[in-house]
Amino acid sequence: MIEEILADAEAGMVKAVEHVQNEFGTVRTGRANPSILHRVSVDYYGTATPLQQLASFAVPEPTMLVVTPFDPGALGEIEKAISVSGLGLMPANDGHVIRLAFPPLTEERRKELVKVVHNLAEEGKVSIRNIRRPHKDQLEDLSSEISEDDIRRAEKDLQALTDKYVARIDELFEHKQTELLEV
């Protein structure tokens, strides 16, 4: 029973870390990265459609991202969606593909992005702690079935899991911060 509770808690924490990692991927750095476009939705024949379902991406050089639509008729809508996405990118449409040049980030913008990433990391840590709470309650509810020592041991294991995944988010944050501040 304890093993099931701990395994369930760990599965939730792994998902929380993966979510934070995906969120970090959407924060723009000075390098071209297709994952930055994952939140962009295109009005495709009246339906909001994720961009990755409408186009393929290529990174021919570190500061250039090329978006090739599967349907050439959607080129204008894709261009418009990228323009209004708030990513700070100006799409260049040549009639077949859209080129996105990633201009170098200013020092001020880099610091703003570090704050954004820090907030994402904090949200991830809170999420992990929120996963811990109900599992700790489940362990305490077992007090009539198992000994106090086993419950305390299981709570320590749960805290160790929490600490492990919070530390993983800290590692991801440090890596992303280094990437953002790199000139």
Question: Residue 181's pLDDT is what?
Answer: 84
DSSP state of 104: P
Picking from 67, 72, 69, 68, the residue whose alpha carbon sits closest to that of residue 87 is: 67
Each residue's pLDDT tens digit, 1-13: 889 999 999 999 9
Nearest to 23 by CA among 90, 118, 112: 118
Tens of pLDDT, residue by residue over 25-74, are: 877 777 778 888 888 899 988 899 999 999 999 999 888 999 999 998 88
Distance, CA of 28 to CA of 24 (rounded, Å) = 9
CB 82 within 8 A of CB 100: yes
Angle among Cα 73, 75, 79 to the nearest 5 degrees reads 150
Cα 165 from Cα 171, distance rounded (Å): 10
Task: Give the predicted TM-score (pTM) of the model.
Answer: 0.73
CA atoms within 13 A on the CB side of 2: 18
Q: Domains of the chain, with CATH numbers?
A: 2-25+106-181 (1.10.132.20), 34-101 (3.30.1360.40)
56 alpha-carbon distance from chain centroid: 20
Mean pLDDT across the stretch 146-155?
Answer: 91
Residue 183, pLDDT > 70, answer no
3-state SS, 140-151, equals HHHHHCCCHHHH
Name the nearest CA neighbour of 55 among 36, 35, 75, 39. Answer: 75
Higher model confidence: residue 32 or residue 24?
24
